[in-house]
Chains A and B, each alone.
Chain A
Amino acid sequence: MLTKRIIPCLDIKDGRTVKGVNFVGLRDAGDPVELARRYSHEGADELVFLDITATKEKRKTLIELVTRIAREINIPFTVGGGIRTVDEIGDILKAGADKVSLNSAIVKNPQLITEASDRFGSQAIVAAVDAKRTGDSWEVFVKGGSEPTGIDALEWVEKVEALGAGEILLTSMDRDGTKSGFDIELLRQVNKRVSIPVIASGGAGQVDHCIEAVSAGNADAVLAASIFHFREIEISDLKKEMHLAKIPVRYPVV
């Protein structure tokens, strides 16, 4: 049986891991490759690296980092953060990433999804959707959640699937950083509309939240950052609890 995936997310700035709440009070948290190796060893099923560097040197540093990660890590990983063109996507995949996550760029230019999936395969193209609840619906936000777009999130997920995205990384802006649980209704609504895998993001604070995202929200994978960074939840413990809750998960076999 296909297992549900646990995906730690690492925030990267200038080639280093940073920790902080909502990008405030960032502090250096070491070498991303070391942390990635630790997560992989602890049973992470995939990794996501989100580059929040804003400088001109960004691209070169990122490619060097992706190259190092790919040499050291033997599980799949996704790279996201400010990626805008098919050529940039090609460089990151060529350096060894398995997937790229696209957010603001595909809102501005939805055809980028089609161009990229035609060239690299839809399995390599993750549409990252940042959604914020407004009444009974959700609106898509871009630029790290700072800019509203007026686009309905449920219509948008259907569109990204039709354009060729292979997976959706769905972040609830309302829950992100709150540790109060995932937006289950958002997950349900999105899963009703698409047949590609959906990664739940935003709001993980406890083991029960992750179980709920899968069992009630039908998420295919659960992404979290701070609970793993600060060791509030160990990946192995989370998997054990999910297994006890009858959710199929992969354990490392020794």
Chain B
Amino acid sequence: MIGILNYRAGNLTSVSNALDRLGAEYIITDSIEELDKSDAILFPGVGHAASAMEDLRARGLDTWLKCTEKPVLGICLGMQLLFESTEEGNTETLGLLPGRLQKFDPKKGKVPHMGWNRFKILKDHPILTSIDGRHFLYYVHGYYAPTNKYTLASCNYISDFSAVVAKDNFMGVQFHPEKSGNIGSMLLQNFLDIIQDGGQN
């Protein structure tokens, strides 16, 4: 059973539809008791980082996320919130990964980075099984995570940024796998396989 984190900034319908298409069982919840019973957590997110963090804190989910040892997959804003802080509203985020999110410079290109792009794999990881630099994934974001030692794949738009990250049980993708056609489904299936294999990474 996957727990889809239910909070104000979630694009829950798209994510739950994607899991339905894969035949995965899930529960949409903000109850810590139900999250404790889940095998893994999907942490979606769209919108503004400050209001998302505010809502996570109000529900006590920030503390729960920081302590969990279950596999967690952050999607888009969900991935961004795994980092320490963001320029968006000068917000302190969860701090599970080192680094500060920066805003794309609108003088250098259109913002948000919106559309299909490819990435370059820097490190192998089970979340990237059968996915490589030829594949296109769908991105929509105005802030980006600089690359660091936890970057599994980097994408380039205006500058290089983290497209896929992983540290311990935490994984994150900047693109929207639930909206990235069959390749996106494959990535979600990889996450399901990681859970099946006991959450090792």
Chain A positions near chain B (C-beta within 8 angstroms): 1-5, 40, 45, 70-71, 74-76, 93-96, 98, 118-124, 166-167, 195-197, 220-221, 250-253
Q: Is the CB of B114 within 8 A of A74?
A: no
Q: Is the CB of A253 within 8 A of B135?
A: yes
The 9 A-B pairs of least Cβ separation, nearest first, read A121-B47, A195-B106, A250-B116, A96-B13, A250-B136, A123-B140, A76-B179, A121-B46, A3-B116
Nearest A residue to B135 by beta-carbon distance?
Answer: A253
Binds A, one of B15-23, B62-70, B165-173: B15-23
Q: Is the CB of B179 within 8 A of A74?
A: yes
B181 CB-CB contact with A under 8 Å? yes
Among A98, A120, A197, contact of B179 (Cβ-Cβ < 8 Å)? A98
Among B135, B157, B180, B184, contact of A2 (Cβ-Cβ < 8 Å)? B157
Contacts of B109 in A (CB 8 A): 195
Q: Contacts A3-B116, A197-B110, A220-B115 known; A94 to B181 CB distance under 8 Å?
A: no
Separation in Å of the A45 CB from the closest CB of chain B? Answer: 6
Q: Which of B99-127 contact A (CB under 8 A)?
A: 106-107, 109-118
Q: Is the CB of B17 within 8 A of A96?
A: yes
Separation in Å of the A240 CB from the closest CB of chain B? Answer: 15
Among A74, A119, A120, A251, contact of B180 (Cβ-Cβ < 8 Å)? A74
Q: Is the CB of A74 within 8 A of B178?
A: yes
Nearest A residue to B12 by beta-carbon distance?
Answer: A94
Q: Contacts A1-B156, A76-B138 known; A96 to B114 CB distance under 8 Å?
A: no
Most buried by A among B11, B17, B114, B139: B114
> A250 CA to B109 CA in the complex, in Å?
19
Question: Main secondary structure on chain B at its contact with chain A?
Answer: mixed
B185 CB-CB contact with A under 8 Å? yes
Q: Is the CB of B14 within 8 A of A96?
A: yes
A-B contact pairs, 23 of them (CB 8 A): A1-B156, A2-B115, A2-B157, A70-B14, A71-B20, A74-B18, A74-B178, A74-B180, A74-B181, A74-B185, A75-B181, A76-B140, A96-B13, A120-B47, A123-B112, A123-B114, A124-B46, A166-B114, A166-B140, A167-B114, A195-B109, A197-B110, A197-B114
Separation in Å of the A218 CB from the closest CB of chain B? Answer: 9
B149 CB-CB contact with A under 8 Å? no
Separation in Å of the B41 CB from the closest CB of chain A? Answer: 21
B183 CB-CB contact with A under 8 Å? yes
Most buried by A among B11, B109, B142: B11
Question: Main secondary structure on chain A at its contact with chain B?
Answer: loop
Q: Is the CB of B18 within 8 A of A253?
A: no
Contacts of A252 in B (CB 8 A): 181
Nearest A residue to B178 by beta-carbon distance?
Answer: A74
Separation in Å of the A219 CB from the closest CB of chain B? Answer: 11
Q: Contacts A70-B14, A96-B17 known; A2 to B179 CB distance under 8 Å?
A: no
Contacts of B57 in A (CB 8 A): none
B37 CB-CB contact with A under 8 Å? no
Q: Is the CB of A98 within 8 A of B106?
A: no
Q: Is the CB of B117 within 8 A of A1?
A: yes
> A57 CA to B201 CA in the complex, in Å?
51
Q: Is the CB of B136 within 8 A of A253?
A: yes
Separation in Å of the B64 CB from the closest CB of chain A? Answer: 24
Nearest B residue to A124 by beta-carbon distance?
Answer: B46
> A252 CA to B112 CA in the complex, in Å?
23
Separation in Å of the B159 CB from the closest CB of chain A? Answer: 13
Q: Is the CB of A40 within 8 A of B181?
A: yes
Q: Is the CB of B182 within 8 A of A74?
A: yes
Most buried by A among B13, B14, B20, B136: B13
> A69 CA to B129 CA in the complex, in Å?
28
> A196 CA to B48 CA in the complex, in Å?
17
Nearest A residue to B51 by beta-carbon distance?
Answer: A118
> A2 CA to B104 CA in the complex, in Å?
14
